[in-house]
Amino acid sequence: MRIALFGGTFDPIHNGHLTVADEAMRGFALDRVWFIPAWQPPHKTSATAASYEDRYRMVELACQGRPEFVASRLDEGEAPSYSIRTIEKARAALGPADELYFLIGADAFAEIRTWRRWQDVVAAVEFIVVSRPGHRYDVPPGARVHRLETLALPVSSSEVRAKLASGEEPADWLPAPVLAYIRERGLYGTRRAA
Ligand code: ATP
Ligand code: MG
């Protein structure tokens, strides 16, 4: 099988993430995309807004009815969550015939040289790097990169959180079950706004 690992804070998962995964599946004939919420992202300065369990649950809800989209707990307990660990764990869980890709947005890929053991990361996987408005990147030596340049999605979790906190309903940006879960749990300041 061809599997892409798609890690992120997913705080919360939004339609941009799903479109990225769809486009990568079509462009690279992937069989599966594993959505892997970070237990504790090493590159975020502050803590996540929602807990691991809430972020994981929202990923599950977003993947419902899409058997090729898999919610993964691979990062559970990894503090901080380094991609090299995720990749090693994925490899251990897969067979020798499985092909592993790493799906990532241009903003995150631009920082790859700051990652723990980044040379091991680029040796271990091929990247699918997705364009994102306002973000450019260069390819470090040895990295195998497939550029997916067809998307320019102006959506981010930060903006979704800001909208929710100010009482807006970003219904176009979130899968309906995710928005319902956020409201039900009062996440991202929605309880105050209600
Ligand atoms: P935040 O604003 O909190 O950083 P985010 O929208 O960037 O949230 P992340 O969980 O940080 O979401 O991102 C997970 C992965 O998805 C990263 O590789 C990121 O680059 C990618 N990604 C997220 N949104 C987009 C987008 N609109 N276009 C392309 N890639 C995206
Ligand atoms: Mg981000």
CATH code (residue 38): 3.40.50.620
Q: Measuring from atom 6 of ligand 1, which residue has the nearest CA?
A: 156
Q: Give the count of alpha carbons within 13 A of 177, CB side only.
A: 11
Ligand 1: does its nearest atom lie under 6 Å from the Cβ of 23? no
11 lines ligand 1 (CB under 6 A): yes
Whether 163 is covered by a domain: the verdict is: no
Range of 76's domain? 2-153
pLDDT of residue 157: 98
pLDDT of residue 193: 45
Q: Which amino acid is at 149?
A: E
Within a domain: residue 165? no
pLDDT confidence of residue 194: 47
Question: Phi, psi at residue 157, to the nearest 5°?
Answer: -65, -35
SS3 21: helix
| pLDDT values of the chain reduced to their tens digit, one per residue, 194 residues | 999 999 999 999 999 999 999 999 999 999 999 999 999 877 666 789 999 999 999 999 999 999 999 999 999 998 888 999 999 999 999 999 999 999 999 999 999 999 999 999 999 999 999 999 999 999 999 999 999 999 999 999 999 999 999 999 999 999 999 999 999 999 999 986 44
Number of domains in the chain: 1
pTM of the model: 0.96
**Amino acid (1-letter code) at residue 172:** D
Residue 191 has a pLDDT of 85
193 domain residue, yes or no: no
pLDDT at 41: 73
Q: Is residue 161 part of a domain?
A: no
pLDDT at position 83: 95
Report the nearest atom of ligand 1 relative to the CA of 9. 10
pLDDT computed for residue 46 by the predictor: 72
Contact assessment for residue 70 and residue 32, using Cβ atoms and an 8 Å cutoff? yes
C-beta of 132 in contact with ligand 1 (< 6 A): yes
